[in-house]
Structure 1
Amino acid sequence: MQKAKILLLEDDLNLSETIKEYLEDEGFEVDTAYNSDEAYEKIYENSYDILLLDVMVPGINGFEILKKVRKENNIPAIFITSLNSVDDLEKGYKSGCDDYIRKPFALKELKLRIETLLKREFDTKENLVKIDDNFIFDLNSSELFKDNKTVPLNQKEKRLLKLFLKNKNRVISHEEIYNNLWDYEETASDSSLRTYIKNLRKILGKDKILSIKKHGYKFIA
């Protein structure tokens, strides 16, 4: 089962372990980083649904990391930091964050903020995205359901469907799809992508996903 994937940048090892264990118990997949270089490398090499970034970390600070990330993508990001002045809050939002939570915080509050961001990304107020009268997609578990029964999808198909649901009625380029489906160490495959598209069309209906010649694909909501 592919879960919502989170990168946690936190240089306090005990706090990092506590957050990671809690979020994994709540059904998320969590990668950890302890300095800015490690975090940026993982963001570059992997596809994440949410970034959780401490600010005062070894290397460049969290604000500067997110500024670099924002030049390339719009992964939802939450700062988790002991910096609590209004000026710091302003710096955080100007650097591109979606939310800002001050330490100390309740773990449940962090989970609620993560879930809220995921729902916003998919333009829904629930953890479930309704595709049509028959199909529902669970944001937390990345599972597709038809008439309350799980529809088998492999991990790449789940990633692709999530990308489509985030970008309904928008043409998504082949390059953007490759960057989201394949991690850095993997080799993107056009033939594999066509197979994933074919499988999703077979499940959801052939008219759900349009091929836009020489550009990419569009998911019709």
Structure 2
Amino acid sequence: MDDPAHILVVDDDTRLRELLQRYLAEQGFRVTTAGDAGEARDFLRSLAFDLLVLDIMMPGESGLDLLRALREEQRVPVLLLTAMDEVENRIEGFESGADDYLSKPFEPRELLLRINAVLRRAVDAQERVPRRVHFGAFSFDLDREELRRGDAFVRLSIAEQQLLKALANRIGAPVSREELSEASPEVGNARTIDVQVTRLRRKIEVDPKYPRYLQTVRGVGYALVSD
């Protein structure tokens, strides 16, 4: 894999953690392991994972408790591991936000197949979700280059579409006039950026003289900011 998926394995069984770390690494994944929910939380605060393999039965905070808390903050895919194979346990796992469920003991090859299936579904879901940025009453679809105010379309020129897309791709960050010109051929050269910005502000700002969303960054260029 050019960019291998990063998996966090959370299980209090040291032997199983080491086995899974070795096996999944051999299959081309990046693997981090945690022995309990607290250690997992530490990793989740500082690292981005593509998938969690999470044991339910752990001392202290259970895997289900961690999963429920996690679902309030992010949508990282989670595959649950458990020694309990009752229908009620599986239902509880899925209701808590799990993407898949595997009972112990299991064959490593089955785990691998399930991991790959969950990762494929996650990629498919991301591709189906339009990329949008929101600011005030507006939303901008980066793929279609469409601006809406609520449910109503806001008509943009090609230059305005390209300018807004270049800013929205780096929302919150300053973008220089030169970068905007390179990313937006229809806008023109760096000197004409200011003119296009003024026109765009008339469409998205309550008071274009005191812009709230399309802001000037002195000495740099412009930035599109959300609320």
TM-score by length of 2: 0.58
The separation in 2 between residues aligned to 1:65 and 1:106, in whole angstroms, is 25
Letter in 2 for 1:20: Q
Q: 1:4 to 1:173 in 2, by over 3 A?
A: farther
Q: Does the CA-based 8 Å contact 2:83-2:104 persist in structure 1? A: yes
Alignment root-mean-square deviation, CA: 3.1
Aligned position for 2:74: 73
Matches within 5 A, 1:48-59: 48-59=49-60
Aligned position for 1:214: 225
Larger gyration radius, structure 1 or structure 2: 2
Q: Does the CA-based 8 Å contact 2:12-2:35 persist in structure 1? A: yes
Q: Specify which structure has the bigger relative contact order, considering alpha-carbon pairs within 8 angstroms and separated by 6 or more residues.
A: 1
Q: 1:69 to 1:34 in 2, by over 3 A?
A: same
CA offset at residue 58 of structure 1? 2.1
Aligned position for 1:108: 109
Aligned position for 2:29: 28
CA offset at residue 40 of structure 1? 1.7
CA offset at residue 82 of structure 1? 0.5
Matched-pair identity in %: 32
The separation in 2 between residues aligned to 1:41 and 1:167, in whole angstroms, is 31
Q: 1:172 to 1:101 in 2, by over 3 A?
A: farther
Q: 1:168 to 1:213 in 2, by over 3 A?
A: farther
Aligned position for 2:17: 16
**What's the CA shift string for 1:112-146, capped at 9, x where partnerless?**
1111111111118xxxxxxxxxxxxxxxxxxxxxx
Structure 2: give runs of 5+ residues left out of the alignment. 136-171, 186-222
Q: 1:173 to 1:45 in 2, by over 3 A?
A: farther
3-state SS of 1:52 partner:
strand
3-state SS of 1:113 partner:
helix
Aligned position for 1:130: none
CA offset at residue 94 of structure 1? 1.2
Aligned position for 2:130: 169
Matches within 5 A, 1:1-221: 2-123=3-124, 166=127, 169-171=130-132, 190=173, 213-215=224-226
**What's the CA shift string for 1:145-197, capped at 9, x where partnerless?**
xxxxxxxxxxxxxxxxxxxx6575322579xxxxxxxxxxxxxx947xx79xx
3-state SS of 1:122 partner:
helix
The separation in 2 between residues aligned to 1:214 and 1:67, in whole angstroms, is 31
Runs of 4+ in 1 over 6 A off after TM superposition: none
Q: Does the CA-based 8 Å contact 2:37-2:63 persist in structure 1? A: yes
3-state SS of 1:123 partner:
helix
Letter in 2 for 1:213: L
Letter in 1 for 2:89: D
Q: Does the CA-based 8 Å contact 2:6-2:30 persist in structure 1? A: yes
The separation in 2 between residues aligned to 1:62 and 1:22, in whole angstroms, is 22
The separation in 1 between residues aligned to 2:13 and 2:71, in whole angstroms, is 25
Tell me the number of residue pairs that the alignment of Structure 1 and Structure 2 aligns.
150
3-state SS of 2:124 partner:
coil
